[in-house]
Chain A
Amino acid sequence: MAVFRPGESIGFREQVVMKLCSIDMKTHQSAGKLYVCEKIRNSSELVFSFPGSWSVSDWFIRSPFGEVKVDLELFPSLKHIGLNEIATVNEAFLNRFRAILANTQFKKEVRTAVTDGKPVVFTGHSLGGPIAILATIWFLEVYIRPDPNKVAPLCVTFGSPLVGDRIVSHALRRENWSRYFINFVLRYDIVPRVSLTPLSFVEQQLQRILNFFNPRSPFYMQENVGEASGFYVTVMRNALSVVSHAACKIMGSTNLLLDTLSNFVELSPYTPLGTYVFCTGNGKLVAIKNPDAVLQLLFYTSQSNSEAVALNSLKDHLNYKHELQECLKKQSVTCLDDNHLEALPLSNDVTVEINMVLNDLGLSTRARLCLRAAGELEKQKKSNQKAIDIKMEDIERGLGKLQGYKKRCQHKVGYYDAFKLSKDKEDFDANVKRLELAGIWDEIIEMLKRNELPDEFEGRKAWIEIGTRYRRLVEPLDIANYYRHLKNEDTGPYMVRGRPKRYKCTQRWREHAERMSNESLESCFWAEVEELCIKSGNPSIRETILQLKKRVEQQIRNGDLDDDVFLKGSTFDKLLKEHSLTNLDQNDIFRGSWS
């Protein structure tokens, strides 16, 4: 078990964290300000600290969880690329962040810091935390995505509620941004857990609890034990629903009752993101990155048989400064990575070294089993990825064969039309190769759909690149096959009903990686041609064909498309001839470039 000094591998320095925590607590006092910008003495960081806001409607905009799909204009990365799903975040937090963004002063100060090459830190305690997280994502989208060499930001939160759903966490891990987020959670602090509870369960009590936290409220730190314990039990019960449902899933349960039950209970969509650092309450820190494991810990670290825990669950939220001071003295940070999780000791036997800290977190055997399952799942995903990586060679070989086929057909009418006619043995062999490749890709897509690959998978350059090459080379064959068998008469146009997911998905990979604003449909060129051929009798399509021709020429210049589409006798060539749009001079320019 690695025990290391703070700052070595999770990316923070203890002095800085201490300082951030006191800035955040102070920020709560500054009335009416949207944020506080401060420099840390003896350090180059520029700190943006966000105050909390203490009304229920600043947390839950509606029942049950008040989430909303993110605006992809603002956060273009917050999506699942392959499945084309958009992330959701808490709408109340998003609105507060938008208000800050509307403030030009904020944008200006950030821009100045970036131009000066100063590292920027976004931070917040309690309900200020979510704003810091959204600000950091915004910063990453605006500055780091176009230029990864810029100084990376840091986000540090203390006792922050959860902000977004699984897709947010997935997207941050895919972009390799997850490491910039560090969330400190004191063992019993109730606030991060409240996000797992539907509003209707706590609507009555939540405002009073928020008043307890609000330093400017007359009820600040006014203890009310009865209320606290009712609140604690409700929150924990709902947290248990979420984590036990998640645990069943990560343990691989396939019982149908699980799905039935989730139709009867409102399960919070929110999941943790970034690194979590749990404070044991006696000066020790446990850092953990696996989001499934963090979710489990949110319940199990706070599980207790003692009566006093309910009150502690409120007090802990205001105790970060004191607790971090303790941690500073002890300097004990334990980092649990996936390998540790998978082999976690199940008993609380104190002779095992790591149990010194796990026992301080109060982890039961059941909790440890859940953590093991989370570690095991991540390991399984990694090994799935390895298995898929090996198949890359098969894909490469298949693409090589088809490339050869394409080249040979160059001397005839081009491989699209040769394949569409399928006269020779060679065409048949190409069809078998096409189907073999489709099998491999469909398997990958299926794994993505079932969430069986690591979050990082879709961000990997090698796969994006081979996906693009595959799509450009093989999709024309799929289109040829589609129109050869007249599937359009049964099913409708290829683009509307017939396009396989394996092409849509690989296309989105590239569009995201290259930050393209428009759809890049170069591989569907033939489908467009076929549809135009069907409408060929209609003279009004001449203009459309002309447009298509211009676009194709541009794409050939960009290297996105090969010039064999203009080969004599090809479907496209015939279409152009029919509408007398051939321009021999121009074609000759392209003709020469093929090798």
Chain B
Amino acid sequence: MDTEASPFESSEMLATFLTSTPLLSMSWSLCDRANTMPSQGFVAEQMGSVGHLAFSGVQLGSGPDPTSGRNLEPLVTATNGLFFPLEHQFDGEEGGGEEEGKEPVLVHAGFLRIFLSVKSNPNFQNRMLNMIQNSKSIVIAGHGIGGTVAGLCALWLLSYLQSISSNISVLCITFGSPLLGNESLSRAILREGWSGNFCHVVSKHDVFPRLFFAPLAPLNPQLHSLLQFWQLSMTSPPLALLAEKLLDEGKSQIFRTVLASLEGLAKAEQGKNVTCGFWPFGNYFFCSEDGAICNDNATFIVKMMHSLLLNSSPSCSIEDHLKYGYYVEKASLQVLTKTSFPPAELPESSYEAGVALALQSSGIACQDESVARPAKNCLKLARRMGRTPNLNCANLAIKLSKITPYRAEIEWYKATCDQSDAQMGYYDSFKQRGASKRDFKVNMNRRAKWVNGSQFYMLLVEPLDIAEYYRTGMHRKKGHYISNGRERRYKIFERWWKERPIKEEEKKTRSTFASSTQDTCFWARVEEARERLDNVRNETDPRNQALLLSSLDDFSKYASGLVERKEVSKDVVARNSSYCMWVRDYEELKSQYVQLHP
């Protein structure tokens, strides 16, 4: 099967698709309306089965200037479970030794506060409820700061819809919005499969979406007047002229700082972690006078932000934030017409030609080698990285089918043990094995192959791992299996299994013993019980003894319950299995105990 990357570059085609739809112009016109009536904070409209919502980029009376400082705050503590799918750390990440996994999901504190205050507004709640009831799909948009509120709103809505298992589609479109959160947020969104629900429109020069890459604390006063200038330009243009005068010097300071920080990030080697706190997520739609491209690779986005800003100027970078209406209209007209490309520069390979066209659309001239080359390179990088996870996912089913024959081999091993004369069951045979050839082969298959079947694999193989653990005496070194020795894959599989939706008919009772024991840690529990049994014998303090005895009693009840419900496989009740031997020992001990303490 083809594992190569596609021979075509489709980020421009995706942008064309989006531009050909009415979504961008519709969202922009609502954002524009929201900007001119800041007192309300948002505008909502229902168009057939599509609900539209836009947040104003002008936020009044929201206390301290939201851009001041770059304070990030944990999403979990501040929001009381509103964004629950983003909160829980994936089990696979804990204790994996990966440092990035450690940072919690952080978002900009100021934006979060604005969103929470909008959300508590009863008017907003009503509109939202109405929209969810009447829509098949919902577009949430915003310009500038409005975009970050839209982003949070979309994240909240996605979380909420997930909790009620609704299949309403959500699309968040932002125009020139600053970054919202850190890399953990970006990764959590990827993990939930939500990156396709966000599209951030960024014009060629606009400095606002690039602002948070830079350390801003020293620029606070300048930023304040910049924000004021933008807001006044949207609400009362004559006053904006005054504000612009105030800004003057600040313009180039801001521009230089942002450009320098972006330079540092863009030049950073792949893999080296140069963090700036904030990190992009979702798709970015870069638009220029010559067209647009759309891509969701974060590294590419950062480099593109840098490349495009190189040819800009301080005043351009600030005015561009107010020109989204122009860009949207231009793009929507342009997409229908043909743009000619000078034939001499056209590479013959489909992929190279696609890259050249994409760069042309994003407004980077191919003649400008110093800018075009890095941009080209990172577009190619994005291609490779962008495709692999999807391909992996698609090929998983096929890999799984190649593993099943090995599973059958293990199953066979279990079956022969169950029937053998030793009457020990496969758990104990494996634990006490000599150098039998088949035993060895089973061991090889279990370890050598990367195995990915989930529940079945776990049911069958985990007991063997437990046997190996106790056979090699690991429990004396590291402690008991369940608390100290259990491999992470089993914990993850168990979670998958427990989280699956349970259907009614699955709750039937069994008529014969299960083919594999349903509690995969059963044998580990037996081992612990055996140890405790020895401890009881050696224990002199009667209080401790009673404690141990009661825990043994608990286990005995639990285990016999499993046996009664036939949730264990035959090997558990084989006459000489560890479990049966334990039961005999336990009964003996109990009778002794009763004699001693009548």
Contact = CB atoms under 8 A, between A and B. Distances in A.
A224 B386 CA distance: 49
Interface string A553-582: 000000000000000000000000000000
Interface stretch (B301-309, B317-325, B507-515): B507-515
Interface in A369-427: 369-370, 372-373, 376, 380, 384, 387, 422
A233 interface: yes
Contacts of A261: 17-18, 21, 23, 171
Given A240-B336, A255-B196, A446 B398 contact: yes
Contacts of B6: 251-253
B196 A258 contact: yes
B17 A241 contact: yes
Interface string B1-29: 11001111111111011101111000000
A257 B294 contact: yes
A248 B10 contact: yes
A264 B8 contact: no
Contacts of A237: 20, 336
Interface string A338-371: 0000000011110000000000001011100110
Interface on chain A toward B: helix, strand, loop, or mixed SS?
helix
Given A254-B387, A349-B343, A490 B506 contact: yes
Interface stretch (A205-213, A432-440, A509-517): A432-440
A255 B22 CA distance: 20
B14 A365 contact: no
25 contacts: A237-B20, A240-B16, A248-B10, A248-B13, A252-B10, A255-B294, A256-B195, A257-B296, A263-B136, A263-B169, A264-B139, A346-B346, A346-B350, A369-B8, A369-B354, A372-B8, A376-B350, A384-B2, A428-B409, A436-B405, A438-B404, A443-B1, A446-B398, A450-B394, A486-B511
B156 to A, nearest CB: 17
A347 B510 contact: no
B357 A443 contact: no
A147 interface: no
Contacts of B139: 264
B197 interface: yes
A252 B8 contact: yes
Given A260-B196, A432-B405, A438-B401, A255 B296 contact: yes
Interface residues of A, number: 61
A253 B8 CA distance: 9
Interface in B165-196: 169-171, 193, 195-196
A225 interface: no
Given A248-B10, A257-B283, A442 B169 contact: no
B515 A373 contact: no
Nearest to A238: B20
A247 B23 contact: no
For B14, B341, B353, B514, the residue with the greatest tally of chain A CB atoms inside 10 Å of its CB is B14
Given A237-B336, A247-B10, A256 B357 contact: no
B508 A485 contact: no
Contacts of A366: 12, 357
Contacts of A428: 408-409, 412
Interface in A465-503: 485-486, 489-492
A336 B505 CA distance: 56
A442 B401 contact: yes
A178 interface: no
A260 B171 contact: yes
For B8, B12, B137, the residue with the greatest tally of chain A CB atoms inside 10 Å of its CB is B8
A245 B508 CA distance: 47
B10 A442 contact: no
B266 to A, nearest CB: 22
**Which A-B residue pairs are the 10 nearest by beta carbons?**
A256-B196, A252-B6, A439-B401, A347-B343, A251-B8, A263-B169, A253-B10, A244-B17, A240-B20, A254-B390
B339 interface: yes
Contacts of A369: 8, 350, 353-354, 357
B429 to A, nearest CB: 17
A303 interface: yes
A184 B191 CA distance: 49
A372 B347 CA distance: 14
Contacts of A422: 412, 415
Interface in B316-366: 335-341, 343, 346, 348, 350, 353-354, 357
Given A259-B196, A369-B8, A446-B397, 15 more contacts: A237-B20, A241-B21, A244-B13, A245-B17, A254-B386, A257-B195, A258-B14, A261-B171, A264-B23, A349-B343, A365-B357, A366-B357, A428-B408, A436-B405, A438-B404
